[in-house]
Amino acid sequence: MNALRSTVKELLGSGAIDVFVGYEKGTRLPRPLLAASADEADKLIFDETCTGNLAVYLTRKDLVGGKKAGVAASWYAMRSICRLLDENQLQEGAVKVFGLTPEGDLKPFDTLADLKQHVQETPPPPKPVEDEWVREIDAMPAAERWKFWTGELSKCFKCYACRAACPMCYCTKCIVEVNRPQWLQPWAATMSNVEWQLNRVMHMAGRCADCGACGAACPLGLPVHIIAHKMAKLVAQSFGEPTDKGSVLSTFNPNDEENFIL
C-alpha cells in the first residue's frame, strides 16, 4: 500500500501523471478514487479485493481528457486498456498502468507494449461461476432458455448501469439514444429490454474484455454479464481469440465460417 502511495505521489509531484485512477476504501467494497493530490494519494489502496474495472474512466474526457493518467488495473482492466489502445481511444504515453504481482506487490508497466505482452502471456483469471451459468443455460431447451432470459430481462428498468460501467461503451451517443430513426424502444418493457441487451452485447462482439463489470453494476442483480461471457466464448470459438487487427464485426475475412447464419 505504501509503495503505491509513494509512487503515485512521486508521479504526481514530478508531473509524470496528472491524475491516478485507483481505489480507496468504500462502504462495503473498495471503490474508485481519482487522486490528483498527495492528500488523495494517501487514501489509495490496491489489493486482490480491488476488482472493479477502472479502465472505464480512461475515456472520460471530463475527467482525464488531455491529461496523463496512471491507473490501477486488474487483469481484466488491463485487457480493456489493450483493446481501447487498439481502437485508438487511448494514446501511448498518456496512460501509465500498474498491476499487482501474484504476491500482491505493485507491478508497473513501462510501456504499453509490455502491458500487451503481459496480457497475452498471462492466462485470464478463471471464471468458474460464470462458466457454470453458461453450462446451465446452454443445457436448457430453447423454450426454457427463452423463458429464463425474458424472465430476467423483464425486470430491467433501463438505468444503463451496465453501459456506464463498461470500458468499451465509450460512445458519446448510444444506439438506444438515436431517435431518427429510432432503432430501439427506449422505455423499459420485456421485449425492448431484450433488444437492448442483445444490441449491447452484439456491439461487444470480439471487443468485450469479459470483465463482468456490466453484471456487477446492475442494481437489480440481473446476470447480464453472462450474455457477454457467452458472447466472448462464442467469438473465440468461431473466429479465434480477438487480435489487435480489428474486431470481428468491423473486419471481413473470406474464410470466416458462416455456420452461425440460421
Partner 1 sequence: MEQKYIPKSSLKAWLAKVKDGGKQIYAPVTEGGKTSFRRVKSVDDISMEHVQTAQSAKGVAFPRTEKLFSYAMQPGGVALQDYDSANIPHTVVFGLHPCDAAAFKPLSGIFGWDTGDKPFGERMQRVTLVSLSCSKCDELCFCTSVDGSPGSAVGSDILLTAVGSEGYLVEIVTDRGRALTEPHAALFEAAPDVNKEELLAHVPVRFSVGAVERSLAGAFESDVWKQQSARCLGCGACAFVCPACACFDIQENPKGSASGDRIRCWDSCGFSLFTLHTSGHNPRSVQSQRWRQRLLHKFSYMPRRLSVRGCTGCGRCSRACPVDMNLWEHLSELENLKN
Give residues in contact with partner 1 (CB under 8 A): 26-29, 31-34, 52, 56-57, 62-63, 155, 157-161, 163-165, 172, 177, 185-189, 213, 216-217, 219-221
Looking at the Cβ atoms of 3 and 29, the one nearer to partner 1 is: 29
Output the smallest distance, CB 161 to partner 1, in A: 4
| All three cell numbers of 119 | 496480457
Q: Which residue has the cell 468499451?
A: 168
Output the smallest distance, CB 109 to partner 1, in A: 23
Output the smallest distance, CB 148 to partner 1, in A: 11
Looking at the Cβ atoms of 57 and 127, the one nearer to partner 1 is: 57
Looking at the Cβ atoms of 3 and 220, the one nearer to partner 1 is: 220
Looking at the Cβ atoms of 63 and 234, the one nearer to partner 1 is: 63
- Please say whether the dihedral angle defined by the alpha carbons of residues 184, 158, 24 and 73, taken in this order, is positive or negative: negative
Output the smallest distance, CB 33 to partner 1, in A: 7
Looking at the Cβ atoms of 115 and 161, the one nearer to partner 1 is: 161
Instruction: Output the CA–CA distances (angstroms, integers) from residue 6 to 40, 42, 77, 110, 205, in the order listed.
Output: 12, 8, 22, 17, 39
Output the smallest distance, CB 91 to partner 1, in A: 21
Q: Which residue has the cell 468485450?
A: 208
- Asked if 217 contacts 161 with a C-beta cutoff of 8 angstroms, the reply is yes
Output the smallest distance, CB 254 to partner 1, in A: 40
Looking at the Cβ atoms of 62 and 121, the one nearer to partner 1 is: 62
Looking at the Cβ atoms of 97 and 213, the one nearer to partner 1 is: 213
Buried/exposed code over 105-133 (b: 16+ C-beta within 10 A; e: otherwise): ebeebeebeebbebbeeeeeeebeebeeb
Output the smallest distance, CB 42 to partner 1, in A: 15
